[in-house]
Structures are given as structure tokens and as C-alpha cells.
Structure 1
Amino acid sequence: MTTPGTGRAASRRKPPHVLANARFRRLWTAMSVCSLGDWLNIVALTALAGDLTAESGYQVQSLAIGGVFVAKMLPAILLGPLAGAVADRFDRRLAMVVADVLRFALVLSIPLVLLLSTPSPGTYQWVIIATLLVECVNLFWVPAKDATVPNLVPKDRLEEANQLNMLVTYGTAPVAAGLFAVLALPSDLLRDILPLAEDPARLALFINAAVYLVSAFLIFTLPDFPKNHTGISTPSVLRQIGEGWRYVGASRIVRGLVIGMLGAFAAGGAVIGVARVYVEALGGGDSAYGTVFGAVFAGMAFGMFFGPRLLRELSRRRLFGLAIVAAGVVLAAIALIHNLVIVVLLTVVLGALAGIAWIIGYTLIGLEVEDQLRGRTFAFLQSLARVVLLLVVAVAPTLAGLYGERLVRVAPEVAYRFDGSNLVLLVGAVLASAVGLVALRQMDDRQGIPIIGDLVAAARGRRFATETQEQPRGMFIAFEGGEGSGKTTQSRLLGIWLRDQGFDVVQTREPGSTKVGMRLRAILLDAAHQGLSARSEALLYAADRAEHVEKVIMPALVRGAMVITDRYVDSSLAYQGAGRALDPADVTRINAWATGGLTPDLTVLIDVPPAIGLSRFASPADRIESEPPEFHERVRREFRTLAAAEPDRYVVIDGTQPQEEVSRLIQDRVREILPDPVPDDSEDATGTIPAIRD
């Protein structure tokens, strides 16, 4: 018996947020402060490099800014593993505090050198030297931080803690850029308040140095700092890339995702690399540069948060490729338009598109890659992204400087300025569009359906349907899952529940719901037909599905019935596509033609590990059930990938839970899409019936 107001609600109460942990909260605050300082350091140093070489011409200025980016990233690539191994031998608190104090002193030395000397080539050389030293010190702070976090939070909250860490790592970039833009306001506004306001880069570096000192204080005063070491040294970046490509290259979909994500990353990096010079060419100063720098990351944050919520009816794989292509188009517009306000707005859009591609790709890779390879794949992706960013931000301003400033005569009295930064952005736009098209071609799971029509339909909140297709009035629900997942039992329980609510329900299955289908089922599942080829199997399932849609599903939907099917198209994508290693584009194409593009309103995936599902069978296994465990693991992985690609169509249920709980969760989700509201009395319709073979 439960106390009123408790019961299920109490059992679902969420555990305290990870930030409720006082020690992790203090470390996270220090990380936030340091991330803000790191981004402010990048903006201030690139602006300072541009100011110091402004009198030396366009080429020298571009090369000077590129030198800062190289100095910022080269130590991590060349010395990262060595520093990590050395850092693991020191007390972590001492290593982090000393590193913060050294960063404070080195960053502070840059504006002090400017105050005590006249700007000269030697001044710029000290900027580069100090930057290199700061980044070398960073190599001791970062691994010590990474090794400390797992010892401050429980293992089941580590993912949440890492998400918060990524939030401050990238989320502080627009804050730092905005702060620099404010500091770079006309000096007359701030001169009476801050004596150093005449030079915003110098003032930003003073603030940057103070930020590192605050971080040192927070780390030094952190109570009960963990003492044990967990081994934080890592292989070299280049070695991670070499090893990772062996795992990534084996899957065309993962390969397409990685290529696309790196293309989106490079598009944003191209803007950052030439932003300082380009903004100055457009008539803007340090404030405008800070605004453009922040616009990229503000757009990325917006895209990562809101992107997956846009165009809900569009395939996630299609949205991934289209976002990269669109980013290339926007980057081309940035390259050719000579209006600073429009450039800032387009930069926000560019960042948003890159953020959409990055978050979708990151999610799909997490589900596509096997558990034992996932860590190495992400390490490979992050390492390769770092190298790509280094190349882009170093090569972009260098290429811009080598090309120089030029005027193109478009008419006798009309000249169009097309300098090195325009060229770099335009080349980046072409490459981004090409990468997006490659990713779209490799990953498109709706081939045969026109992209423009699909986009228009998704913008209107519905799935694309051909003009000749009779529009159904009912609702279509499909159950998917591996062998022994319980989907057959749950589909029948849902049918019983919906009939109790007064709905006209048609219960069906694949294969074998038509006269032709019954014969096909005998062929497909009979263990005596083990020699059936994978292509023949896929075609037979598609033939059964064509009969099923035309004779059973569509007539019921047209009359307004609720259709519940045990398996549908996604089973072919999982079993024949992933299980039999057929080209998923081919499987998608033949099934889209067989079904006329009919897609379920809701797909319920009952997710059960194959070892558990197969153990539920007492009778002899059929042709599919007798496949080896690796086959069923690939099937399960593909189902989860499909669910991640279309989260609004799917609901994923843990099938290892009690039958009543699984039924309740399914009913809760179905209730959300029913045309008429159904009271929340799910406890009256979760009775059990004998489990049925799946």
C-alpha cells in the first residue's frame, strides 16, 4: 500500500544533479573560468597579432595571425602524450595550481612587454614564445583535470559530468567573444573608467591572466582533493588517428559520418582562421572581430540544442548531409558579400548548421559503433578534428596572405575586391558542399523520395507522400526488435488496450499476413532453406511487404483503423542491411518502392540483448534465430541506429523490464499520438498473456 501522493511518482524521482556534489561543482567552476580564459586568450592574441602587423601589409598581417593559431595548437599535437605521462607522476592539485600560476605569469608578461617597449618584430616574437609556453603548461593542467573528474563523481553520473564539461569547454567561447567585443568599444566610452581601455587586446590579456589566478585559488582550496592516480597518459594524436581509421574505415556509414563532421568542423575553422583580417577589410575593428568570433560558437550552440528539434519528420541522416551542404552555401555567401552586418548574421547561421551536423553525427556514431570500439572511435574523431582544425586555422590565413589583395574589374568603372580571405572562404565553401554531398550519398536512407519534396513536407510537419497515394485516415504503429524481445506479446497487449478504448484495431504481422505472405513465410523461416542468398531473402521480404501494404495495411488505414504490425521495413534494414551486410541504400530503395513510401506513425523498438532474447526460446530455432550471436548483435545495433536517426518516430523500450512495466511505457507513448485523449489509467490494461514466439 502506498502513501497518497507517492507510489510511482516517488519511485521515478530523479537523483540529485551532479552539480549538487560540492567538490565537483568547485572543480567545474574552475574549469569554466579556465575555458573562458582560454577563449579570451585566443581572441585577444589574434587581435593583437593583427594590430602589431597592421602597418606591414595584408600578407604579413595574415601570416602573423596564422602564426598565433599554430603556436596555440602545435604543442598539444607534438607533446601531448609526453606531457600526459609526466603529469601522471605529480600530485594533481599541485600540478594544476602551479600550471595556473605559470599561465597567469606568462599571459601577464605579454601586455607588460607592450607597456614597457615600443611595438616591434621582437614584440610579436615574444607573443609567439609566450603562447607556446602557455600551451605547454596547459598540457599538464588538462590531463590532471581529466583524471580527477572520475574520482569526484559516481560512475553512473560520469556521462552527465562529461556533458557539463563539454558545455563549458565550447559554451564559454561566445561569452569570451562577447566580452572582448565590449572591451573593444570606442575607447572614449571606457577611458575614464579603465586606463588601459585604449588597447582592448591588452586589457583582455590582463583579464585573462586574472582568470587563471582565480582558477588556481579554486583548485588550491578544493577540499579532499583525490590523491589516487588512474593512468591518464594517452598515445600520440597521430597514432590514435592511424589506429582509429582501421575501425572507422570498415563501415561506410561511420566513414560518411566522420567525413561529414570533419567537413562541418573545417567550415567553422575557415571562418575563425581569416576572421580578423576579413573583418578589418570590411571596415570593422576589434569589436566586430569579437562579434564574428562569438557568432560562430553561438550559432553552434544554437544548432546543437535546437537542430534535432527542427524538421522532425525528416530523416536524421538526410538532415546531417543537407546541413553540411547548406553550410557550404552559407560560407560562399560570407565569402562574396562585403557587408559586415550581413556577414555576422550569416556566420550565426553557419555555426548553427555546423552544430546540427556535429550533434547528429556524434549521436549516430555513438550508436553505430560497437561498445568495445566506441572509445577508440571517439578518440580518433577528436584527434583528427584537432589536426583538421590546426591545418585549417594555420593554412587559411597563410593562403590568404600569399594571395594578397586584388581588385577584379567587373565593368570599366566597377571594381570588386577579392582578396585572400575571400578566396579561402570560397574554397572552404566548395569543399564543405562536396563533403556534404558525399555524406548524403553514402547515408541517404530515403532514396527514391525527392529531397525537395521531403524537405517541404517536413517543414509542414508531415512525412512525404506521393500525389497518387491515397491518404490514410487511421494510425499505423509498428513493433520492432530482435529475436525473443517480446514485441509480439506487447503488440497484442497494445491491440487489446486500444480496443478497450473503443478503437477499431487491425492486428497484423510480417511475414505471412496474406495468402502469398504465408507461403513466403514458410520459405523465409524454414531452417531447411539455409542456402537462401541474402539478396533473395531481401527481395522475398519486400514482396511479402508489398502484398501486406496493399491488401491489409492501406485498406485498414483508409477506413480509419488503428493498424499494429509485428515487424515492418526497419526489420529489413536491420536484418538484411546490417545482419546480411547488404547495402542499406539498396534495401531502403526496394522497400520504399514496395510500400509506396508508407511509414509508421510510431515505431516501438523493444530493445533486448541477443543473449537474453535467444534464451527465451524453448522450441527449435528457425532459420533466422539459428544465426550466430554476431549476426544478432549487428541487428540490434542497426535497430538502435535507426531509432537515433528518427527519435520522433521511435520509442525505445528496455525489454528486460517486467512485462507490465513495458506495456505501461508503450501505452504512455501511444496515448500522446492518439486522436482522442485517453485517461491515464494504464494500470487496468496491463494484464499478462502467455509469451508468444517472436
Structure 2
Amino acid sequence: MSSPGRAVPRRKPPHVLANAPFRRLWTAMSVCSLGDWLNIIALTALAGNLTRDAGFQTQSLAIGGVFIAKMLPAILLGPLAGAVADRFDRRLTMFLADLLRFALVLSIPVIGSYQWIVIATFLVECVNLFWVPAKDATVPNLVPKDRLEEANQLNLLVTYGTAPVAAVLFAVLSVAMDFVGSAAPSFSGQPTDIALVVNALAYLVSAVLIFTLRDIPKGHARQGAPSVLRQIVEGWRFVGANQVVRGLVIGMLGAFAAGGAVVGVAKAYVEAQQGGDAAYGTVFGAVFVGMAFGMFFGLRLLSGLSRRRLFGLAIVSAGLVLAAIALIHNLVIVVMLTVLLGACAGIAWIIGYTTIGLEVEDGLRGRTFAFLQSLARVVLLLVVAFAASLAGLFGSHPFTIGAMSYTFDGSHLVLLIGSVVAVVVGALALKQMDDRRGIPISVDLIAALRGVRFEPEQDEQPRGMFVAFEGGEGSGKTTQSRLLAIWLRDQGFDVVQTREPGSTKVGMRLRAILLDSTHQGLSARSETLLYAADRAEHVEKVIRPALYRGAMVVCDRYVDSSLAYQGAGRDLDKDEVAKVNAWATGGLVPDLTVLIDVPPSVGLRRHASPADRIESEPMDFHERVRREFRALAAANPDRYLVVDGTLPQGEVTRLIQDRVREILPDPVPTDAEANTGTIPAIKD
């Protein structure tokens, strides 16, 4: 039996992959994604190999043709294929699509002509248009709604996470084939052929997994699913009015385009550097390995840097790295730089994706992400196709500088253009989104590298004085705070008298919730956060502006009330309550805290009106509150003045004025107390 007040530990919910039907579908998706990436690498490598003897220009155009064949179906036939796919059984659709992809991919190494590569690639992508909508519509039917986000994260992981795996696999196959070829000269197998066979087998494995998955509903897939083009048009309407979101989207697409430029010319670039298929697979995979590192580790290394600044700097850095890749003719260095390029792109992508989730309201967030994903896919394919085609049209131009020979070809031109675009886009994003203007970026970056966040010294310090009154119910603190405010005004000071909760428009609504006796079911944590919300608004709108203009602020209750009432009274962790309130107030601490100490049994008898939600708490609650107030005062005697609230009102007033007189900025006449009128006591 658990002890009173002790939280019973909850059972951790099972992982979404514990769901057997979803696990089988996810496995099929993983295998298909691996096959898709292996397909891209193998087909572009095969196209480059088949046209190797035709020259750099023809080779680049051939590779670009493969990417164009992959891009056209989604743009031209996406809406039609989606409408048709909605009318078929999902399980049967995915099964037949996998079988067709298996047959088409397997036919490519058998036929072995470039023309068939383009035709088969186009047909495979057409089949994909049926497989993807059926898969997307199936996932929500296999997992509970509260686990759908987790399922989508896993789907995204295999969509992009299998790219470096495919690149490593292709490189390993290439090295293995080269080794076999050198050991047995009669062996004529090509790495691209073996990779395509593995690719085809991946689709066959997926078909078997889907065929054995009996839990897929036979109902139709999503009706009226928007096409890629429609998603893009609607997406611009959503993000066009928000400058920050618009800058984020453009920056993210710029980062994706920089990575796409590398992918588009990687094969021709590697061939020009006398590298083989293994080198091409390594360069291809380096982009995605870098993206993974950037997404998972980049933010941790620079945790002290503003996310908006880091977003722009990452894109600018990607552009500079891209320029270095274009000018350096060393494959080892290029691979390392490509990992760095991918890391910069990964940092920009994850920051942008997270910030959009925060900036876009919930009703538009799903459509905005769908728009971003669709546009990113189109941009990636367009850049890859355009990059390879432009590289081919430019050709290769060797020249000599003294004793050094240097070749500048189309791949170098494309990478330089991409670097310029990335630097410009990153600089524009940094200019529009900079949230730390006036602080040099270099200073901010150096501090972040040291693991801290640079905070400039405040040129202007508060000139006023802040006095807070604390105490239990019926202690008389409200009356004494008014008397002190009147006394300070009589001395010629600008005085702002305020209270918590309820001194702002927002605070008035929060006060009604917090003190209304009908809200007895309010949880302790909710109560703490509501008080902190009122305090944050109060400090920003009332207290801090008054202090900066030199006013005397007299406040009825402040942070110590939360430490006593919610920390001790509600039995919450006082350190957590203190952290929440320190964040809410920006660390603002009173110059003096006056604690009027009264036993709860005495203070509660002073109330004539019906008790509010806090006053109606049991006596032991108020006893804990009193003990905590006294403990806070004992721990910080320099800031606290503890006054016995059972003394006559005039005596309490005199003690408070004597202490305040000691900390006033200007001397106060000793006879000032005579100017203090008698104010009727009011309810605290």
C-alpha cells in the first residue's frame, strides 16, 4: 500500500514498434527505402559508366536524364495516380506495386542500355505513386492516435536514415567486385548490376511482408489527397504572411538545394578525379551521414547560440564548404568536407522544422509541413537534374598556370553556383531573423563554442527601489503596503503601489481563477504556473518599467509567496518552484522584503468576508506556509525585515519605515512618520 501523498509510478507505455502489424509495415518501409536509395546510386552510377567514353558533357547529361525521369511522374501524374490509388485495396496495391518494381529494376541490368534505364526509372516512379499513398493511409489505421506522431518519426527516420546505409552498401559492393575482378580476370560482374539485383530483392522482400500483413483495412485510402503542386500553392498562402516562417522555408530549401547540388554532380565529379563507384557511393553517403550528425549533435555543440542565428550561420557555412568542395581536387578531403556540408544542412533543417512547429498555429501546422515536404522533394529533384544537365552543357576546360595544371569542369561550376546561392540565402535569413541585434556574431559564436551564452551587460540599470510585502492570511501586509506607499509619496518619491495576482489585464483574469473558491480542483502545478504567468506579466508590464524610470515600487506579494504557498503549502519541490519564478521574473529580486509574521489562528480570525480558495485551506496548510516564510527570512536576513504582526498597527508601521529609511536613495527626515495618516485595515 502506498503512503499518503506518494505518486504511484506509471507503467511506461509500450513502444510503437511493439505493435506487430505496424512493425511489419515499418520493416517493409525500411527495406523499400533502402532499395530506393540504392536505386538512385546504382542507376546514376550505371548511367555514368555507360557513357564514360562519350566525354564529360555526355556523361553529365546522361546522369541528369536519370534524375529527370525520377522527377517527372510525381509532378505530371501525381494527382491522377493518387485518385486512382484511392479506389483500390491498399494491401493489394502495395503488394502488386512491389512486384512490379522488383521486375522493372531486375530488368535494367539484364537489358543494360541507357534508354531502358530512363524508361524503367520512369515506370518505377509511376508505380511508387500508387505505393506511397496506400502506405500513408494505412499507418493511421495500425497505430493509436496518441502514437501516430511517434510512428511518423520512425517513418521519417527510415526515409532519410537508410540513405547512408545504401551508400555504404554500394561502396562495399564496389570494392568487393573490384577485388573479385582483380583475382579472377574472367569475372565480368559490375557493382551497379549487383546493387540493382539487391535493390530488386529489397522490393521482393517488401512484397512478401505486405502480403502476410492481414491487418490492413480494405477501405479506401485518403479521399481528396492534394497533389504535390496543390500542396505547394496552398503552402505559400499559409507562410507568405509570416516573415519568420517565410525566411525559414527559403533557408531550409536553400540548404536542401546545396546538398542536392552535390548529389547531382557527384558521379561526374568523382569520375573526373579518377574515382570509381566506391568513391561515388562514399561521397553520396557522406552528405546524409553529415545531415544525421548535424541533426543530432550540431545543436548540442552550440547550445549557447541563438537558434535563429545558428540557422542562418549553418546555411552560410554550407555555402562556404560547398565552394571549398568545388575548388579542391582531392577525394579524401572532399569526402570530409561533404560530411561537414551535410552537417550544416542538417542543423538548418532541424532548426527550421522545429521553429516552424512553434511559429505556425496548430490548425495550419499539418498543411505547412506537408507543403514543406512536397516542396523540398521537388526542389531536390529539380536541383539534382538541373545540376547534372548544366554540368554537362558547360563541359570540361583544362588550363595551366605555370607548372600547375588545373581542370575546371561543369561540376565545379555547379558547386560554385550552389555555394553562392547558399551564402546569399543564409545571409538574408540571418538578416531577417536575427533576434540578437547589436551583439557581434563573432562574440556570440565564441561564447557558444565555450559552452555558454553571451549576455551583454545592461547599460541602463534600474534606478528605483523595490519593496515586497509578504505574510500569511490576515497578517495586515496589504494595509502596511498602502501606508508605506503613502509615506513615500509624502517624501516626494514617484511610487507605484501594486499587488499579486491581478495588477494587469491578464492578471485580473488569472486572479479570478486562482482565488475563486469554485475552482477547488485546480492542481498544485497548474496553480504554480498560473501564479508564475501572472508574475511574468506583472514584472514586464508594471514593475520593471517603473524601476527603470526611478520609481519606488511597493508590491503586495511576490515570488516568496509562491515558495511558501505552492512550495511548502502544496508540498511541491521548492527548487522547481524557484526556477519557474526566476525564469518568469528574469531574476528580479526585491531590495527589501517585509514579512509580517502572524500565527494563522490569529490571521484567519481577522477576515469577516467569506473565505477565498486559498483562505479556506485547512490550518496545517497555513502553518506550513508560515514556517516556510520564516525559513526564507532566516536564510536571507539582509533582504528581509520580519515584523511581529500582532503588534499595534502604528508600531508595525514605524518599524517598517525605519528600515526603509536606511535604504532610500536620499535621506528622509526623521519626522516624516508624522505625515503618515491612519488607513483603515483592509482584507489581505
What TM-score comes out, normalization by structure 1 length? Answer: 0.67
Aligned residue for 2:77, secondary structure, equals: helix
AA aligned to 1:301 is: A
AA aligned to 1:372 is: G
| Alpha-carbon distance, 1:193 to partner | 9.9
| Alpha-carbon distance, 1:84 to partner | 1.2
Equivalent of 2:215, from 224, 247, 271?
Answer: 224
Equivalent of 1:603, from 574, 578, 583?
Answer: 583
1:214 aligns to 2:197 (yes or no): no
How far apart are the structure 2 equivalents of 1:146 and 1:310? 35
Q: Deviations over 1:130-158 (max 9, x none)?
A: 01001101111111111110000000000
How far apart are the structure 1 equivalents of 2:186 and 2:23? 35
| Aligned partners of 2:398 and 2:406 also within 8 Å | yes
| Aligned partners of 1:181 and 1:286 also within 8 Å | yes
| Aligned partners of 1:197 and 1:203 also within 8 Å | no
1:77 aligns to 2:75 (yes or no): yes
1:445 aligns to 2:443 (yes or no): no
| Alpha-carbon distance, 1:234 to partner | 2.1
Aligned in 2, Cα 1:113/1:564: closer, same or farther, shift over 3 Å?
farther
Matches for 1:197-212 after TM superposition, within 5 Å = 198-212=189-203
How far apart are the structure 2 equivalents of 1:107 and 1:144? 21
Per the alignment, residue 360 of structure 1 pairs with 351
| Alpha-carbon distance, 1:14 to partner | 2.2
Equivalent of 2:303, from 299, 312, 315?
Answer: 312
Q: Deviations over 1:391-433 (max 9, x none)?
A: 2011101111111111244x33333221110110011001001
How far apart are the structure 2 equivalents of 1:331 and 1:515? 60
Per the alignment, residue 365 of structure 2 pairs with 374
Per the alignment, residue 18 of structure 1 pairs with 16
Q: Deviations over 1:422-448 (max 9, x none)?
A: 110011001001101111111111111
Aligned in 2, Cα 1:517/1:44: closer, same or farther, shift over 3 Å?
farther
Matches for 1:509-528 after TM superposition, within 5 Å = none
AA aligned to 1:75 is: P
| Alpha-carbon distance, 1:8 to partner | 3.0
Aligned in 2, Cα 1:9/1:87: closer, same or farther, shift over 3 Å?
same
Equivalent of 1:250, from 241, 247, 253?
Answer: 241
Matches for 1:600-679 after TM superposition, within 5 Å = 603=583
| Aligned partners of 2:134 and 2:221 also within 8 Å | no
Per the alignment, residue 334 of structure 1 pairs with 325
Aligned residue for 1:184, secondary structure, equals: helix
How far apart are the structure 1 equivalents of 2:495 and 2:394? 68
1:274 aligns to 2:288 (yes or no): no
Per the alignment, residue 2 of structure 2 pairs with 2
Q: Deviations over 1:463-503 (max 9, x none)?
A: 214479899xxxxxxxxxxxxxxxxxxx999x99xxxxxxx
How far apart are the structure 2 equivalents of 1:204 and 1:132? 19
| Alpha-carbon distance, 1:455 to partner | 0.8
Aligned in 2, Cα 1:97/1:524: closer, same or farther, shift over 3 Å?
closer
How far apart are the structure 2 equivalents of 1:194 and 1:38? 31
Percent identity of the aligned residues? 69
| Alpha-carbon distance, 1:374 to partner | 1.2
Per the alignment, residue 42 of structure 2 pairs with 44
How far apart are the structure 1 equivalents of 2:62 and 2:143? 43
| Aligned partners of 1:81 and 1:233 also within 8 Å | no
| Aligned partners of 1:40 and 1:180 also within 8 Å | yes
How far apart are the structure 2 equivalents of 1:543 and 1:3? 44
| Alpha-carbon distance, 1:602 to partner | 6.6
| Aligned partners of 1:183 and 1:197 also within 8 Å | no
* Alignment root-mean-square deviation, CA: 3.6
AA aligned to 2:2 is: T
Query: Unaligned 5+ residue runs, structure 2?
Result: 462-467, 473-492, 508-536, 553-557, 563-578, 586-616, 618-684
Matches for 1:157-236 after TM superposition, within 5 Å = 157-185=147-175, 187-191=177-181, 198-236=189-227
Structure with greater Cα Rg: 2
| Aligned partners of 2:171 and 2:281 also within 8 Å | yes
AA aligned to 1:181 is: A
AA aligned to 1:81 is: P
Q: Deviations over 1:350-402 (max 9, x none)?
A: 10110111011001101111111112211221121122112201110111111
Query: Unaligned 5+ residue runs, structure 1?
Result: 115-122, 472-490, 497-513, 528-537, 554-561, 567-598, 606-658, 660-694
| Aligned partners of 2:87 and 2:221 also within 8 Å | no
Give the paired residue count: 507
| Alpha-carbon distance, 1:73 to partner | 1.7
Equivalent of 2:415, from 425, 428, 431?
Answer: 425
Per the alignment, residue 436 of structure 1 pairs with 426
Matches for 1:454-493 after TM superposition, within 5 Å = 454-466=444-456
AA aligned to 1:269 is: G
Q: Deviations over 1:85-125 (max 9, x none)?
A: 111111111111111110010000011113xxxxxxxx111
How far apart are the structure 2 equivalents of 1:382 and 1:195? 47
How far apart are the structure 1 equivalents of 2:322 and 2:67? 21
Aligned in 2, Cα 1:454/1:370: closer, same or farther, shift over 3 Å?
same
Aligned residue for 2:436, secondary structure, equals: coil
| Aligned partners of 1:68 and 1:128 also within 8 Å | yes
| Alpha-carbon distance, 1:459 to partner | 1.3
Aligned in 2, Cα 1:128/1:3: closer, same or farther, shift over 3 Å?
farther
Aligned in 2, Cα 1:251/1:193: closer, same or farther, shift over 3 Å?
farther
Q: Deviations over 1:155-183 (max 9, x none)?
A: 00000000000000000000000000001
Aligned residue for 1:463, secondary structure, equals: coil
| Aligned partners of 1:334 and 1:347 also within 8 Å | yes
How far apart are the structure 1 equivalents of 2:172 and 2:198? 13
Per the alignment, residue 652 of structure 1 pairs with none
1:145 aligns to 2:139 (yes or no): no
